[in-house]
Amino acid sequence: MRLVAVLALALLSAPALAAPAEGGRAHALWLGPRPPAVPRRVVALAPSLTDMVVALGHADRLVGVTRYDDAPEVARLPRVGGFLDPSPERVLGLRPDLVLWLTDRGADAAVRRIADLGVPVLATPVVSVSDVLATARVLGAALGDAPAGDRLSASLSRAIEAARARAARARRVRVLFVVGRDPLVVAGPGSYPDEVLRLVGGENVVQGTRPWPVYPLEKAAADDPEVVIDAAVLEPREGISRLSAIPAVRRGAVRRLANDDALRPGPRLAGALEALYAAVHGEARP
């Protein structure tokens, strides 16, 4: 069950079909027909996309979300499944005129079937910070409200610039970003938290090529991070003592995140930058 939670969390942060966007150009892809008119009934197949629609000011158009969604605006909406198992039947039952999908191979067949049956599906790989900025514009345009997309993208850009400027004045801190503890799963290079960490003046101790490695505990101990960020928010707080082989855990240099905002490439980026800055640089947070 815990592994499922880890997997779900890792998937929250968008493994993608295509390479990360460059220069803010999202590799959005239409499957099935294009919407004939401005979409009014939208199903979002990932919480970060739900967040995006809400942040664009169009929560009222959402008619279905995943079982992982926790935004208060969608608390009462029907659930259409998860990342690996969206139910095409439930999606179609909601008569959507637009389905938003974070390209994910596990659900490939189900989503392609939805598109084949005539429902417009907008697939947006969101892996990096620049993808987030681009997706805000793409979704704004898809919802017939390009100005809202531009505004959201610009406001997130400002938050990024502010974080960069603040980090430039601070010392670089060596960080281990823990997503799951049993097994130990960490954010590696190429993952979304790795990028956000760098923006706030953190340096990921995890090297290599895999974005979400199952990490040997002794390697984590040998890496000797200054700070361990505990982003395993679905697991009990005390469980971090499992990792006491890491000197920082013994020293008590563990900063637990209050939520999974740092794992969601979406509008929660602004909050994640704040929270991660505080976690990396040891500022007290409520």
Partner 1 sequence: MKRALGTRLGLTVAAGLLALAAAIAVSSTLGSQPVSLAAALRGGEPDRTILLGLRLPRALLGALVGAALAAAGAALQALLRNPLAEPFVLGVSGGAALGGTLVLLAATFVGQVAAGAGALLGSAPPVALGAIAGAAAATALVFALGRIGGRLVPEAALLVGIVFNAFAAAVITILKVLVPPDEAARLLYWLMGSLGYVSPGTLAMGAVGVLASVALLGALSARLNLLALGDDEAASLGVDVGRARALVFLGASAATGAAVALSGMVGFVGLIVPHAARRVLGPDHRVLVPASALFGAAFLVLADAVARVAFLPLGTEPPVGALTAFAGGPLFLWLLRRGERR
Q: Kindly provide the residue ranges of all beta strands, DSSP E only, lying in the chain, ordered along the sequence.
A: 29-31, 42-44, 62-64, 98-101, 121-123, 173-181, 184-186, 202-204, 227-230, 254-256
| Token pair listed for 15 | 């493994």
Least spacing, CB of residue 65 vs partner 1, in Å: 12
| Phi-psi label, residue 134: left if phi above 0, alpha if psi -120 to 50, beta otherwise | alpha
Give the one residue of 22, 30, 105, 161 binding partner 1; rule: CB under 8 A.
105
- Tell me how crowded residue 172 is: count the other CB atoms within 10 A of its CB: 12
With contact defined as beta carbons under 8 Å apart, do 68 and 11 qualify?
A: no
Which one of the spans 56-64, 138-146, 163-171, 211-219 is the region binding partner 1 (CB under 8 A)?
Answer: 211-219
Question: Helix, strand or coil for residue 1?
Answer: coil
Task: Provide the mask over 48-87, with x wherever binding to partner 1 is found by CB under 8 A and - wherever it is not.
Answer: -------------------x-----------x-xxxxx-x
118 lines the binding site for partner 1 (CB under 8 A): yes
Task: Provide the mask over 17-36, with x wherever binding to partner 1 is found by CB under 8 A and - wherever it is not.
Answer: x-------------------
Give the one residue of 10, 62, 77, 254 binding partner 1; rule: CB under 8 A.
10
Round to whole Å and give the CA distance between 13 and 269: 12
170 lines the binding site for partner 1 (CB under 8 A): no
Closer Cβ to partner 1, 95 or 250, answer by number: 95
Side-chain half-sphere CA neighbours of 191 within 13 A: 29
* Residues at the contact surface with partner 1, assessed by CB under 8 A: 7, 10-11, 15-17, 67, 79, 81-85, 87-90, 92-93, 95, 103-106, 108-110, 112-113, 116-118, 211-212, 214
